[in-house]
């Protein structure tokens, strides 16, 4: 919603907004653009009445601002609908969809287009380090992170059906968002609806290693289909030349495109890079130029972001919300650091994780770690001790961040890699841990 507000302001509209507990980096981005922020959802913020209220999907009936809008007949819409019907009209849209990797892949695609001189606009659910902002106006091309979460309290379709892309990346598909979707088939139906919006002369770039995506495409595909893979020859193929994924080779229909040495690692990032390269080529970028551009890709804030290297202790902040993403991230780090110790602090914060839908998968996903702290606060409906049982004593359950940090600071030693995994604020634990490690008294 903050990104939509930025784009609306840059399109010439006068924009203000209400939210609960705004914080950097988005709050500072909005303030820098002259967008007035109101704390909370008081109806007073809507007097005098604006021409249009754009409502985020976090708000429901009973919210005082929502009730005021409805009772007074103020014009309203959703963020995705406003974006699709107004801002994206006339642009060539590249959409990145999937359970995992949307933010990173969209950021890669935007950076490739930027390096090629195409000056893309973008709306991404994170802050790409190369750009320093989550949304930007551009010329003809626009990259959007296409989320399958529902649109608004009055529109239960997935957000991404509003974007009408010319190029669509389908990264992967797993069951998630259990608070909205009953099962995997319900999510596949939404992805099928998205596929139906791609024009016949548009391009769908799909992960050939994901049978769940294949099932979606079997229900109908009316566009030009390209597939990508690491395991077998497809239209696009990426190979890890080094075990940790820091060097890659790309091929297009058995033709060598080029090699890439970069600062990132892991099978998941190799696949993200392959999809991003394919999308940029579909938009007209030379394949070799697309591969070379990723050498200068800096990553995304809170996606395995190295936030500190204090006294030989490496501290990362990672936006984690699903066992598969957790496993791939930790496997990639393990290949990179070898026998160095990996310490993980995990906050199960998403609605799906808190409901315990993936509880049985969480322990195995954490296996590459040497020590794990799981902060189980209110609303956890499953037994976290049982979940960590596969770690055979390497996992601890805590209920307060203070206790977790005390235990971690007692255990950490130079050479360790410490990862904080949460899709929320995690009670500022990463910053607090870093400050304690770096404090002079710990010398």
Closest C-alpha among 231, 111, 121, 102 to residue 168: 102
CA distances to 228, 249, 275, 290 from 240, rounded to whole Å, are 14, 7, 15, 17
Residue 115 reports pLDDT greater than 90: yes
For residues 23-52, give the mean pLDDT.
90
Q: What is the mean pLDDT of residues 264-270?
A: 92
Residue 227, classed as helix, strand or coil, is strand
CATH code for the domain defined by 2-78: 3.40.50.720
Q: Which fold does the domain 88-296 belong to in CATH?
A: 3.40.1190
pLDDT, mean of residues 27-40: 90
* Banded pLDDT at 443 (limits 50, 70, 90): low
Domain 305-435 matching CATH 3.40.50.300: the answer reads no
Q: pLDDT value at position 42?
A: 95
Q: What is the enclosing helix (H) or strand (E) of 379? A: none
Band the pLDDT of 279: cuts 50, 70, 90.
Answer: very high
pLDDT at 355 over 80: no
- Looking at every residue in the chain, the average pLDDT score rounds to 93
Query: Does the structure show a pLDDT above 80 at 23?
Result: no
Lowest-confidence segment of 36-45, 79-88, 355-364 by average pLDDT = 355-364
pLDDT at 302: 83
pLDDT at 178: 67
User: What are the residue boundaries of the structural domains of the chain, listed by start?
Assistant: 2-78, 88-296, 305-435
DSSP codes of every residue in 390-440: GGTT-EEEESSHHHHHHHHHHH--TT-EEEEE-SS-GGGHHHHHHHHHHSG
Q: What is the pLDDT of residue 438?
A: 86
Tokens of 94: 């590249």
Residue listed under structure tokens 């391009």: 203
Task: Give percent of the chain above pLDDT 90.
Answer: 78
pLDDT band at 442 (very low <50, low <70, confident <90, very high): low
């Amino acid at each position: 919603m903050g990104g939509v507000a930025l784009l609306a302001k840059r399109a010439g509209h006068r924009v203000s907004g209400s939210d609960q507990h705004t914080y950097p980096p988005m709050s500072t981005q909005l303030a820098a653009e002259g967008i007035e922020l109101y704390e909370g959802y008081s109806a007073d913020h809507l007097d005098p009445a604006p021409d249009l209220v754009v409502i985020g999907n976090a708000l429901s009936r009973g919210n005082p601002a929502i009730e005021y809008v409805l009772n007074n007949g103020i014009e309203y819409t959703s963020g995705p609908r406003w974006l699709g019907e107004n801002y994206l009209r006339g642009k060539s849209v590249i959409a990145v969809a999937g359970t995992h990797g949307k933010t990173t892949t969209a950021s890669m695609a935007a950076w490739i287009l930027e390096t090629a001189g195409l000056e893309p606009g973008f709306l991404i659910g994170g802050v790409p380090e190369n750009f320093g902002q989550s949304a930007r106006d551009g010329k003809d091309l626009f990259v959007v992170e296409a989320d399958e979460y529902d649109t608004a309290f009055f529109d239960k379709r997935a957000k991404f059906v509003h974007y009408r892309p010319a190029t669509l990346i389908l990264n992967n598909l797993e069951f998630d968002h259990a608070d909205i979707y009953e099962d995997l088939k319900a999510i596949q139906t939404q992805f099928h609806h998205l596929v139906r919006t791609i024009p016949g002369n548009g391009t769908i770039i799909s992960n050939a290693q994901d049978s769940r995506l294949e099932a979606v495409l079997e229900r109908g595909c009316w566009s030009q289909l390209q597939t990508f893979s690491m395991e077998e020859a497809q239209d696009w193929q990426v190979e890890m030349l080094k075990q940790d994924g820091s060097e890659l080779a790309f091929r297009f229909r058995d033709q060598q495109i080029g090699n890439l040495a970069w600062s990132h690692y892991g099978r998941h990032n190799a696949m993200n890079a392959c999809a991003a390269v394919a999308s940029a080529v579909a938009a007209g970028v030379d394949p070799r130029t697309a591969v070379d551009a990723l050498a200068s890709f800096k990553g995304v804030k809170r996606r395995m972001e190295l936030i500190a290297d204090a006294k030989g202790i490496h501290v990362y902040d990672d936006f984690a919300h699903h066992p598969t993403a957790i496993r791939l991230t930790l496997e990639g780090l393990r290949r990179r650091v070898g026998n160095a110790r990996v310490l993980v602090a995990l906050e199960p914060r998403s609605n799906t994780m808190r409901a315990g839908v993936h509880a049985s998968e969480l322990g195995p996903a954490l296996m590459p770690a040497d020590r794990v702290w799981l902060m189980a606060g209110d609303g956890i409906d499953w037994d976290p001790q049982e979940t960590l049982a596969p770690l055979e004593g390497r996992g601890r359950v805590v209920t307060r961040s203070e206790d977790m940090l005390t235990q971690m600071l007692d255990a950490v030693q130079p050479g360790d890699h410490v990862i904080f995994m949460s899709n929320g604020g995690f009670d500022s634990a990463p910053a607090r841990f870093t400050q304690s490690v770096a404090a002079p008294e710990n010398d």
